[in-house]
Amino acid sequence: MHKAAFKTLKVSAVYEAFDVKPNDLEDFMKNLHEKHVDGLNVSMPYKTEVMQYLAGIDPVAKKIGAVNCIYKKNGKYHGTNYDWKGIIEPLKKITPLKGKKVLLLGAGGAAKAACYGLKKEGAKVFILNRTFESAKHLADQYGFKATETAEFMPEIVINCTSVGFDNPEESPINPRVFKDVKIVLDIIYGHKTRFVKDARAAGVPYIITGLEVLLYQGYATLEKWLGVKAPKEVMRESL
Is the separation of the CB atoms in 27 and 15 below 8 Å? no
The region that residue 36 occupies, defined by phi over 0 for left and psi between -120 and 50 for alpha, beta otherwise, is: left
The SS3 of residue 146 is: strand
Active-site residue among 47, 85, 100, 112?
Answer: 47
48 is a contact residue toward ligand ATR (CB under 6 A)? no
Q: How far apart are CA 218 and CA 229, in angstroms?
A: 12
161 is a contact residue toward ligand ATR (CB under 6 A)? yes
For the bound state, the minimum distance from the C-beta of residue 54 to ligand ATR, rounded and expressed in Å, comes to: 18
134 is a contact residue toward ligand ATR (CB under 6 A)? yes
| Distance set, CA 132 to CA 2, 98, 135 (Å) | 38, 25, 5
Query: Is the CB of 34 or the CB of 169 nearer to ligand ATR?
Result: 169
Per-residue x/- track, 172-211, ligand ATR (CB under 6 A): x---------------------------------------
Q: How many CB atoms lie within 10 A of CB 37?
A: 16
Is the separation of the CB atoms in 111 and 90 below 8 Å? no
Q: What is the dihedral of CA 187, 193, 197, 199, to 10 degrees?
A: -30
Is the separation of the CB atoms in 70 and 78 below 8 Å? yes
47 included as an active-site residue: yes
From 69-77, 100-108, 142-150, 217-225, span contacting ligand ATR (CB under 6 A):
100-108
For the bound state, the minimum distance from the C-beta of residue 35 to ligand ATR, rounded and expressed in Å, comes to: 25
Query: Is the CB of 90 or the CB of 106 nearer to ligand ATR?
Result: 106
109 is a contact residue toward ligand ATR (CB under 6 A)? yes
44 is a contact residue toward ligand ATR (CB under 6 A)? yes
Helix, strand, coil percent values for the chain (each to nearest 5): 40, 15, 40
Is the separation of the CB atoms in 57 and 79 below 8 Å? yes
95 is a contact residue toward ligand ATR (CB under 6 A)? no
Position with the least CB separation from ligand ATR: 108
110 is a contact residue toward ligand ATR (CB under 6 A)? yes
From 53-61, 102-110, 213-221, 222-230, span contacting ligand ATR (CB under 6 A):
102-110
Is the separation of the CB atoms in 197 and 170 below 8 Å? no
For the bound state, the minimum distance from the C-beta of residue 164 to ligand ATR, rounded and expressed in Å, comes to: 9
From 109-117, 197-205, 221-229, 230-238, span contacting ligand ATR (CB under 6 A):
109-117
Is the separation of the CB atoms in 116 and 143 below 8 Å? no
65 is a contact residue toward ligand ATR (CB under 6 A)? no
Residues that bind ligand ATR (CB under 6 A): 44, 106-111, 129-131, 134, 160-163, 172
